[in-house]
Amino acid sequence: MLFRSMKISDTPRVNELLRQVGSADFVPPSRWWFLTRLFLPTFHIFALEDDSRAIVSTVCFNRMPNPKYNWRGYIDYVVVDKSHRRRGFGRRIMESTLVEAKKFGCREVLLSTSHSEAQALYKSLGFKVKTTSVLMRFTS
């Protein structure tokens, strides 16, 4: 297994994986879109390759300055290819992402999920359900 940052040439495969969780074209096909985000020091898409060098899992990681936690990390869009689930890839990409979060200076990492299988994974990695609710609205 190889954990690494996403490259522009990975875009079609990353989109394929994101479509499996209903996030069609989260990463637009435009290279410019990706390039501009590539220069954001706080935003990362990580990829996990299996032994045949195919990407089988991706995750988005972001961080924000936080007075209490130095940096606060946010994990989103964790996905393992349907045909590769229950083989430890989800655990591996999460563990590697948490190592990166620590290197980036995050003392706390947040994520939200409504999927029970994902909750089992996150809890086994030490995540605890916070009592605060997540509120959301679109800006228009």
> Among 62, 57, 140, which Cα is nearest to 91's?
57
Is 21 a residue that touches ligand COA (CB under 6 A)?
A: yes
CA distance 90 to 77: 12
Query: CB neighbours (10 Å) of residue 25?
Result: 10
Angle between helix axes 116-124 and 89-103 (nearest 10 degrees) is 50
Is 91 a residue that touches ligand COA (CB under 6 A)?
A: yes
In whole angstroms, the minimum distance from the beta carbon of 39 to ligand COA comes to 26
| DSSP class of 135 | -
In whole angstroms, the minimum distance from the beta carbon of 84 to ligand COA comes to 7
Cβ(79)–Cβ(90) below 8 Å: no
In whole angstroms, the minimum distance from the beta carbon of 30 to ligand COA comes to 25
Is 79 a residue that touches ligand COA (CB under 6 A)?
A: yes
Q: Which of residues 113-132 bind ligand COA (CB under 6 A)?
A: 113, 115, 117-118, 120-121, 124
In whole angstroms, the minimum distance from the beta carbon of 25 to ligand COA comes to 17
Binding mask 31-70 for ligand COA (x = CB under 6 A): ----------------------------------------
In whole angstroms, the minimum distance from the beta carbon of 121 to ligand COA comes to 3
CA distance 39 to 29: 17
Amino acid at the residue 44: H
**CA diameter of the chain:** 45
Kindly list the residues in this chain that would bind ligand COA in the complex (CB under 6 A): 21, 78-80, 85-91, 113, 115, 117-118, 120-121, 124
